Structure 1
Amino acid sequence: MNGQDLSTVDPEIADAVAAERDRQNDTLAMIASENHASEAVMEAQGTTLTNKYAEGYPGSRYYAGCENADTVEELAIERAKELWGADHVNVQPHSGSQANLGVYLAVLDPGDKILSLDLTHGGHLSHGHPANFAGQVYEVEQYEVDEETGYVDYEALAAHAEQFDPDMIVSGYSAYPREVDFGRIQAVADDVDALHTADIAHITGLVAAGVHESPVGVADFVTGSTHKTIRAGRGGIIMCDEEYADAVDSAVFPGAQGGPLMHNVAGKAVGFHEALQPEFTEYAEQVVANAKAIADQFQERGLEVVSGGTDTHLVLVDLRPSNPDTTGKTVESALESVGIVLNANTVPGETRSSFNPSGIRAGTPALTTRGFGESECREVADLIADVVDAPEDDATLEQVSERVDELTDAFPVYE
């Protein structure tokens, strides 16, 4: 190898990478599924492990030369077991969606029935949307949150399950701001002889830190992402009891994917190590406190917060009551122009297209990593409300942009 660095070999890519680092430093990341990984996690992901094929599992690989890959994967597994208290862990899925695919392949047959939350009510594509593999391979019906309260209606869920007789119930959501009663959903699953998969993709870190109820040891399967609130290497994870271990492992490899991305597994291991430190609990608690501060400030400014608040890392706002002519995409675009990056989102009882919905979703994991506390988050909520009220007013946008610059300078992500 010639030993040349990226800027010499491929300056165009180098420029794009540098520009992305600058963008993250200079903007406030509030997409609920995003976070800022540590330099150590990113270093682990940029190692020579990217060169190594390691099909199979530690101690049982299909290729020679996997002793170091085994060490990395074993550490990731043991750390995950310690974090979440799981009997069996598979750290190979490339994403949370592939973790869900692994579970489905392990225990379901094509045409089996899945009951999951509707996407417009906070569910996820991989839970059975018709555009996703799950909706194409399995028979799917979906439950909803109560449109008046914004909470999952567990009694309606139980009645739906009784009528539909699913083979699997999926809990865990991508835009649901309230704590999930996994035990209650497991009881519903038991009543109809269904399996229960809890997808904690968004709340892996909150569960690990004990600031959200854990479905591990309650649900039959727990899937998740390994970035988001856990801040580890980007990818997915599956946790289950030993009785399902062989089926899950076979479904992931060779069922759903080939060789694991060992550099990503290394990033997972490093992030799990960081999450095992005492300060991570303080971080997770602050994530929730910051989200509550934003929700409170939004309501003080007259915005409609779905469910009236949050128990997690995200806040969902329905723009229709206060700003009936303003769409989520309009607000998303205006905020991005001033350096606040969040996403338009559907809301319960959505009356618009999912491509231009009526709500916005704001998350606090990345702001908290940046060092923000409740006071800064309340101020950010005020800035967002200013833009919501006047998304096309140049003076407002300029004023907000200047304040965002001051905040990002005061709380840098990467020095």
Structure 2
Amino acid sequence: MSDTAIEIQVHGSLSSIAASDWDSCAQYGAKARPTDPFTTYRFLKALEDSGSVGPGSGWQPQYVTAHAGHEMIGATPLYAKGHSQGEYVFDHNWAHAYENAGGRYYPKLQIAVPFTPATGRRFLIKPGHAEIGQAALIQGAMEVAKTNQLSSIHATFCTENEAKIGEKLGLLHRTGQQFHWINQSYGSFEDFLGNLSSRKRKNIRKERAQAKAFGGEIRCYTGEQIQPHHWDALWTFYQDTGSRKWGTPYLTRAFFDIAHDTLRNDILLVFAEQDGQPIAGAMNVIGQDTLFGRYWGCTEHHPCLHFEICYYQAIDWAIRHGISKVEAGAQGEHKLARGYLPVTTHSLHWLADPNFSDAVARYLVAEREAVAEEIEVLTDYGPFKRDDREEQD
């Protein structure tokens, strides 16, 4: 990299950034399909234009971009947060401790894709600029925090490499856990089942049979196959799940309308239909090498239908389309029995108060050890064969 000075800019809206400039940082090297659909300009712009983020949402955009001369070399999706909702890396205890000590935890700054617990780059930097670009974006976020006397910065679900760079730059490294399915070059769903222990294999076959007995058909839709009435059904499902899990759904109805126009090629819908009418469904987002499970809901409850639509259909689709991984969202040890194994997730944190930062740093050492131990134990309890000689059925 040259010695050209890096200039930092802060933007209150993506409208002040050209889509081509943003995507040249977020999606460099991408083929026809984006590596990470959540950091594309079109996805983040849909959140903003739909009112899912912005005034009244508790997510106020403060996008930071880095420039070397006339070239934009990096960007980060930064938001001023008035709460800790929609993040999936929980810091509520930190907020309570800080405020009990007389501090003001909110607003804070969040480097994240809103409402999306999916690992991906959070510091969107062009090749050749990695460490210096990430340092510049972090410095830009710190300037926003210091200027506005904000308590902290949190970069959630970043990559492991970004976490290592962040640690070098003095940020606190936190780990967590999710369950991902890995495609071991399976030719079919039956090939995948053949890798499982006999008991798990039989259980999955039983669950799939129960699910498919709901009295209708399961169909997948993507791209031009998705029609406006599919979004109507998905919105109904999403509202039901959102009201039960979060109190209020995070996305607005307008997001799904915009998705129909700009995101259909990135979306896979899986619906259970009776007489052509969807009664349950899930939305997945398609990356270049990963299928991301996102939203599920139903208007009728049937045995094992959730497992079929969210997990088994995702695995089946990934195998048929040569996708290497399925990320099924946050939490859920029940995924282990269905072929999803525990993996480590990463986040970075900067806390303005040095005493509070030291206390959290000590806590994170113990937490990382506990997370690593839990992943080791859960992996040992995984559904896969322990011995190639295990009896086949």
TM-score by length of 1: 0.26
Structure with the larger helix share: 1
TM-score by length of 2: 0.27
Structure with the larger strand share: 2
